[in-house]
Amino acid sequence: MKYSGCLSFERKEHIISDVSIDPDVNKRWFKRLYPLIREQRTSFLITSFCGIVGLTIQVSVPMVIREAIDNPLTDGSGEISSYAWTLIVMAACAFLLRYTYRFLLFRTAYRIETQLRSLIYRHLTKLSFSFFDRIASGEVISRANSDIRSIQLLLAFGPLAMLSILSFLLALIFMLSIHLPLTLVTVSCMPFVYVLAQKMRDKVFPLSWVTQGRMADLAMVVDENINGSRIVKSFAAERKQIELLAEKAQRLRWSSTALIDSRARFNPLIESLPRLGMASILMYGGWLAINEKISIGALIAFSSYVIMISVPFRMLGFVLLQVQRAAASSLRIFEILDEKPAIENKLTASKITSPLGNLSFRNVSFSYPNGENLLVLENFSLEIAAGETVALVGRTGCGKSTVARLLPRFYDVTDGSILLDGTDIRDFLVEDLRTHINVIPDEPFLFSESVRNNIAFARPDAQEEEVVAAAEAAQAADFISDLTYGYEEIVGERGYTLSGGQRQRIVIARTLLANPKILVLDDSTSSIDVETESLIHTSLKKLLQGRTTLVIAHRLSTIALADRVVLMDSGKVKAEGTHEYLLANSPEYESILASGAMSGAE
């Protein structure tokens, strides 16, 4: 029961609100983050109260010590027990308050960090394929990890620095109440500290930006080499990749060293200047005490306050560095959060209810973003009746796979329209559209999860018999039963512990369990041997009945699934009909089949 209670608590802690950053790009970075901070205002108020009260007690200690020294000496009683008990009580109260302050502060900082991570991930799920086409995954991972951590560190230590500044002000007030000239001598070096801090900020910020960017470059190389380890090893390119990593690491080392060099030049000066105040106290304060112009207790209290006012300057260099890092990191994070999805729901978008599956491509033209306006499809028109299976055939680069990507709105058409049951697919909710249109890609992707969870990805609540039925239909049940743990077997990253054909069959089972009304097979049996493909096709023929299916065909056996074949050339429909009709009437179709030139993705 105790364990389950802890799990319940963790679930409550991970509930994420819908609060986002300020969308105004003209505001400074901290103001844009303020909505996230404001959401935690209750925690910050309690934290501030505990911190200020605890600080007030701490700053009052030297005054009690002053009284404990001066009063017994003045009246000759030597009684200090009451002062000792007062100090003990003050220490206990300060401990409790400062513990509460630090605990709540760091917990709140981690909450905001979690909120930022979830916010970025939610936004990434909304971004279109065009965004991921131009930004490397390592860059995204770096911004979602190290950059957010920089902001979290500032949120954790920034308030501590502000509390130190408050302690400086309180200590200064007490010092002024003790002896004005001695206070002025002690703080005379403070203007120089401010000037040095400004110079440090000007140098550190650009270096922080460069360093964060180079950390992302390094992460990208590591990510690509881990994911592409089989390619690297197959070409014996380990040494080349190590040299590339060393080059990126060297560039990171240079900027990091330059950053540390700037800190090393300014931080010691910023921290050491206030120590001159201690020398002033020993000289000027000692002379005042000898001449009985200040009491011994007051001089000791003054020395304690000098130590207190030096703390903010010891933290100043660190906090300034964190501020610059957080500023650079937040700008990199905002670049993602400010990215607008290319595919969005219209305000009038509607749900799809009981789709029939009639598809119509009307004068569709398309060019990929940043593709120099090169048209992949040009005035492409095609009608597919509900329940019909159509195969797209053509040479590499003719636009077959592009048609498959436009149907579920992975991209939007440049011109023309695609209709589902007579309605433009842009008038439907994207999530609803993709629920009814599933794509089995040519590159099977599995999560590092159990076989069962991979098959039930679209329907996590599916019954066990439904999962097994989908696996049997995809001819995957036999090899799954041979695995050590069967359906509970954990496949490796991307499913690489399985063969290509096994991965493809699990992907097919996953799509069949989702039971979409419209199915797109994008060369989905290319990794499967002929015998297994024949078994899958036997099952698919039964399952495709009553389902609109678009097949990107690269094998003659796949073409046999189709009721109708469409020959594509240069982004247009060149000819269409049955396989037998095209074979008899289209020399180009016959040539493509004979040459085997259909393989490849467009």
Q: What is the pLDDT of residues 379-395, one digit of tens each?
A: 999 999 998 989 999 88
Q: Regarding predicted confidence, which is higher, 173 or 201?
A: 173
Across 308-317, 420-429, 537-546, 586-595, which has the greatest mean pLDDT? 420-429
What mean pLDDT comes out for the span 305-320?
71
Give me the CATH number covering residue 548: 3.40.50.300
Query: What average pLDDT does the chain have?
Result: 80
3-class SS string, 404-424: HHHCCCCCCCCEEEEEECCEE
Q: Does position 163 have pLDDT exceeding 50, yes or no? A: yes
Measure CA 479 to chain center: 36
**Could you tell me if residue 488 is inside a domain?**
no
Q: What is the pLDDT of residue 7?
A: 36
In terms of domains, do 240 and 370 share one? no
529 in helix, strand or coil? Answer: coil
pLDDT of residue 17: 62
- Domain end, chosen from 305, 337, 369, is at 337
Task: Please determine, for residue 193, whether its predicted confidence score (pLDDT) is greater than 80.
Answer: no
CA dist., res. 81 & res. 77, Å (int): 11
In a domain, 454, yes or no: no
Same domain flag for 245 and 372? no
Is residue 222 helix, strand or coil?
helix
Same domain, yes or no: 286 and 250: yes
**Residues 6 or more apart in contact with residue 422 via CB below 8 angstroms:** 358, 360
pLDDT for 366 equals: 92
E-assigned strand segments in 73-154: none
pTM exceeding 0.75: no
Tokens of 108: 């709140």
Would you state the structure tokens that stand for residue 24, as one six-digit string?
A: 């105004």
pLDDT for the residue 365: 93
Q: Are residues 305 and 440 in the same domain?
A: no
- C-alpha 246/C-alpha 400 separation (Å) is 41
Residue pLDDT, tens place only, 526-535: 556 666 667 6
* Helices and strands in the chain: count of H runs, count of E runs: 24, 10
Closest CA to 334 of 579, 32, 536, 64: 32
Inside any domain, residue 306: yes
Tens of pLDDT along 216-270?
Answer: 777 777 777 766 666 676 667 778 888 888 888 888 888 888 877 777 777 777 7
Q: Is the dihedral of CA 460, 465, 469, 472 positive or negative?
A: positive
Average pLDDT over residues 284-312: 78
User: For residue 6, what pLDDT is reported?
Assistant: 41
Q: In terms of domains, do 267 and 206 share one?
A: yes
- List, for residues 408-456, the tens digit of each pLDDT value: 998 999 999 999 999 999 999 998 898 899 888 777 788 888 899 999 9
Reading the block at residue 480, the tokens are 């799954």
436 part of a folded domain: yes
Average pLDDT over residues 48-71: 85
Residue with tokens 């009307």: 362
In a domain, 47, yes or no: yes
Distances (CA, A) of 482 to 178, 304, 445, 457: 85, 75, 21, 22
In the chain, the number of structural domains is 2
User: Does the residue 476 lie in any domain?
Assistant: no
Share of the chain above pLDDT 90, in %: 10
Mean pLDDT of 79-85: 80
CATH number at residue 272: 1.20.1560.10
Q: What percent of the chain has pLDDT over 70?
A: 84
Mean pLDDT of 474-496: 84
Q: Which residues pair with 522 in a beta bridge?
A: 552
Give the C-alpha separation, 590 to 550, whole Å.
Answer: 21
Question: Quick count: other Cβ atoms within 10 Å of Cβ 239?
Answer: 8
Residues 284 and 386 in one domain: no
Highest averaged pLDDT of the listed ranges 241-245, 270-274, 290-294, 548-552: 548-552
| Shared domain check, 209 and 148 | yes
Q: Classify residue 490: in a domain, yes or no.
A: no
Q: Are residues 402 and 255 in the same domain?
A: no
Q: Helical H runs in 393-521?
A: 400-406, 430-436, 451-455, 464-473, 477-482, 500-514
**Per-residue CA distances from 254 to 137, 240, 257, 259 (Å):** 24, 21, 5, 9
Q: Is the pLDDT of residue 544 over 60?
A: yes
Better-predicted residue by pLDDT, 492 or 175: 175
Structural domain that includes position 537: 359-444+518-595
Instruction: Output the CA angle 574-576-579, nearest 5 degrees.
Output: 125
Clarify whether residues 156 and 280 are in a common domain.
Answer: yes
Residues 6+ apart with CB under 8 A from 44: 37, 108, 159
pLDDT at residue 285 is higher than 90 = no
d(CA 150, CA 325): 6
In a domain, 8, yes or no: no
Q: How confident is the model at residue 211 (pLDDT cuts 50, 70, 90)?
A: confident
Among 100-104, 191-195, 221-225, 370-374, top mean pLDDT goes to: 100-104
Task: Kindly state whether residues 111 and 74 are assigned to the same domain.
Answer: yes
Q: Note whether 53 and 141 are same-domain residues.
A: yes
* 131 shares its domain with 49: yes
C-alpha 91/C-alpha 57 separation (Å) is: 8
